[in-house]
Structure 1
Amino acid sequence: MLGQLTAQAREGAQLHHARVELAEALQREMLPASLPVLPGLRTAARYAPAQHGLDIGGDWYDGFRLPEGALAFSIGDVQGHDVAAAAFMGQVRVCLRAVAAVVSDPGEVLGRANDVLLSMDCELFATCSLLRFDPRTGELQGARAGHVPAVWATVDGRHGIAEDPGGPPLGLVPGAGYGVTRRRLTAAGSIVLLTDGVVEGPPFPIEVGLERVSRLVREAAGGDPDELAAEVMKVADSTGHADDAAVLVISYDGHDGDEDDEGDEGRDGPDRAGGGEA
């Protein structure tokens, strides 16, 4: 009898392990195989599943080229931890890519993507951050849909947590607007996009997690983005790693553009917020 119970327990453990491996493989196959780079711009990313249970998460990161030489980067988190969440994540990524190919303003991209996702009558929603970088001007435009703020630092000692105005998660509110923040990148530094699984857990407040990430970014600003991504992902171990987690690092070597133009982007609409240098 004891031997039979032991065999059943072993079989159950092996089955669970196989399901976890399958879930992780499914999630990773939906993430991009590579990220775009430019002279002076380096990128790196990490994804890690939850440490416990069969959590097929909806966290993602993405990077892709846009018309006229710009680059776009997104990161996000879909509600839920199952196959439906992973499938919805894939739909959100494709939707953002399709809209961004014909619409340059990140806020408008999120707004149109939100409308498309609502038209699909899916009960899920997703938080998201979307950045658009123009290498000709060094301008970085960003919009958020209910997502964790980005963390940034420059080699000259400036740093911050980008609590920029945004809008609601995608797939919740019809006709939602999304504010756009514009900054001109001049000094070398790093920007870190992440999901809440990195910085938040049941016993771990998000403010504490963001401060730990901010310290890491300040120490490694402008350095190897791959090493920084690995160090930031380690913060997830402190949170209990009850959720899957994603990190996207963008390191910038500096811009030699006309500094007289910096910080004058201003406010050009009711749903947009002006920015300054970074």
Structure 2
Amino acid sequence: MLRYFCGQVGDFVIGDDVLVQNDPEVDIVLLSLQSGSIFLKLKNGFDVHSLKAMQGGCGTFQLHVPSIHTRKRVLFTSAGEQAKLAIVSDHDILSSDGAFFMPMMSGSVLVQTPKFTTDTLMIWGILAGAVRFLGHGSVKKEVVIVCGTCAVDTKAIVAEDAMIGTMWSAVDITVQATNKLNVTVFGAGPASVAYAGTRPTVLNTKQYFRWSRPVVQQAIPTEDHIPVEPYKLLEPPKRVPKQFHIRVTKPSMFSGRNNELYIEPVDSKRVQPKSHWGMTTALVVGGVAAATAVTLLVIRRR
């Protein structure tokens, strides 16, 4: 069985008995690059060491499982114009170490589950994007770092403490914190931050390089009789079959991976992947932006 899957062109449907799903020492990596889409619908859930899922092109990555349990972190990334990553767990998502949601370059991340539990939730929005959570969840700490136009809606996740940092951004962020909410705005930009539920016990705001203090207000409550529209699962598109080569690499002591599967078109020599440099650039920019924002938050707390 596979623990690493990368699809670059075309649409792929992955069913049961393909991926490692029940091994607490295995790290699962699922990638969809360029114009490819991946659809996973599995009868059994994941019980693994860590799980990373990325949509790095203009397609859709849809993962539908009963549950996701990890000893380490889960990382859900969507990068690229029209890139959509949808994670749907029918029962729960439990991550002992933490969870990362990363929309970049106009990508969107949607997570839906009736029970989401982790210690720390990190959301990094780089160069436009969107994050939405549907269901119910609880975390000890939620950190939202945004650089660019981004919408974040995690009001269904109850956090003890929440920290929000925006940099020269036009943002629309809604969170729910019971104890403390710290908001730091760096530079100009129409930053809209709201809290759901009751007002946090402690609410702090701070601004840098802007004249007005950011306004944090209570989100408009949703009427009880109006149900939240759930995510509608997509059916894999029906396409004309194409011919592909399937190549499985041997274990490598340098990469630390086993049984890597590559699916390539027959004329792959004329197809040059273009996503890798873009992804690398985005990750570098994201790292710099996140480091800057975290530094500001640390300064604010001191």
What is the TM-score with the length of structure 2 in the denominator?
0.23
TM-score (norm 1): 0.24
Which of the pair has the greater relative contact order for Cα pairs under 8 Å at 6+ separation?
A: 1
Larger strand fraction of residues: 2
